[in-house]
Structure 1
Amino acid sequence: MENIGNIIILNGAPRSGKTSIAKSIQNNFEGVWMNLGVDQMMKMTPDAYQPSIGLRPGGERPDLEPVIERLYIVLYESIASFSRAGLNIVVDVGHHDGYSNSLGILKKCALILKEFPVYFIGVRCPIEEIMERRRMTWNMGYTSEGEIPKPVQLWQKLVHKPGIYDLEVDTSILSPEDCANLIKLRIKHGPLPTSFKEIRKL
């Protein structure tokens, strides 16, 4: 395919800094960069099916899982459509397979983008920093026993499996602009992305 847009997928736990990196990419990269991802999908989803693709790991809502899988498929088919139209896409998501049963969503999404240039970026952040950001943003912190809530622990454990990326960034030591610049250099100077090709083989 000719004149297809680049695709950057930012994968990480909630409050890891994906949205800020996506905004920096939109504001500073050349060309038109559209932003799709978990926040946009949640806004479009009826209340009865929330938290949409933001469903946290733990298998708490098996009734929602068939819908979640379809929403991911539609999201990635939309990404393909934007790229096919020559528009660049930055996507912020939190992929995990911590459902009541394995859904293999990441591999299915990688198969949809088989013919497209996809840079899969791991957005990492230590759990202590995640907790501080949750406290500052949502006024939600440790349990009454002083423990990290189990869902937060599960996000940290499962969001980076299998951990195959074209690039990883740590937002506890890098600003959103620094992260975006590293991604820009990766795209400009190569090598070509291979993460989704490896994930398709799993």
Structure 2
Amino acid sequence: MTAATGHVVILNGPPRSGKSSIAAAVQSSVEGTWIHLGVDSSVAATPAHLHPGIGLRPGGERPDLEPLVSTLTEALYGAVAVHARLGLDVVVDAVHHHDYATPLDTFAIAQQQLRGVPTLVVGVRCPLEVIRERRRATWGGAGYVASAHTPDPVQRWQHAVEEAVRSDLELDTSEQTPSECARVIAATLGRAVSLR
């Protein structure tokens, strides 16, 4: 007997916008068996000399890695699709953008891999000043360093990710907690919310 196809929720937003926190809230409170895959798990599985892999930031700084980004995106969403087709639900934290040195549409790759799988695309939004504060709290201001290619990488992430994908639903993590965001996602999917 084949299980019903699971749902996929793609959380697309810039780094530090709150995607991982929402994913954890979905796993702990939304009805279903939720598997969390995405940028962090892909980068963790990628050899260090090929970092940031799928997390390559906007600006075309590493055109040598762009073919790998395409392949890793295809592999990630292929795995997401397999999980869903086996009846598991998948929440994906993603940073889709088009700002590469060569033409590359990672979201189109995702859509191709997920053809026939029920998918909800959630734009995770957060004002720049809140993202900057979260970065300071986490890394003390370290992290992305401006360069000739990306004079303000935080702002560039924000713009590139928001422009790349049309969302079915948008959430603002400066106004909603991860639990509140998970409840909105559950309601959109018609799923129950439990307190586990």
The TM-score with structure 1 as length reference comes to 0.87
Query: 1:13-52 maps to which residues of 2 (within 5 A)?
Result: 13-52=14-53
Aligned to 1:89: 90
Partner Cα distance (1:56, 1:164) in 2: 19
Partner Cα distance (1:40, 1:169) in 2: 23
After superposition, the Cα gap between the structure-2 partners of 1:129 and 1:114, relative to the gap in structure 1 and judged at 3 Å, is same
Aligned to 1:164: 166
Q: Structure 1: give runs of 5+ residues left out of the alignment.
A: 190-202
Count of residues in Structure 1 that have an aligned counterpart in Structure 2: 186
After superposition, the Cα gap between the structure-2 partners of 1:170 and 1:31, relative to the gap in structure 1 and judged at 3 Å, is same
User: How far did 1:165 drift?
Assistant: 1.0
Aligned to 2:122: 121
Residue 165 of structure 2 is aligned to residue 150 of structure 1: no
SS in 2 for 1:169: strand
RMSD: 2.0
Aligned to 1:181: 183
User: How far did 1:56 drift?
Assistant: 0.6
SS in 1 for 2:9: strand
Q: Structure 2: give runs of 5+ residues left out of the alignment.
A: 192-196
SS in 2 for 1:79: helix
Over the matched positions of the two proteins, sequence identity in percent amounts to 46
Higher mean C-alpha deviation, range 14-23 or range 28-37: 28-37
Aligned to 1:194: none
1:144-182 Cα offsets, whole Å, 9 max, x none, are 9xxx96111110111012441111000001000001100
User: How far did 1:108 drift?
Assistant: 2.0
SS in 2 for 1:89: strand
SS in 2 for 1:95: coil
User: How far did 1:22 drift?
Assistant: 0.1
The TM-score with structure 2 as length reference comes to 0.90
1:30-59 Cα offsets, whole Å, 9 max, x none, are 121000000100110001110111111010
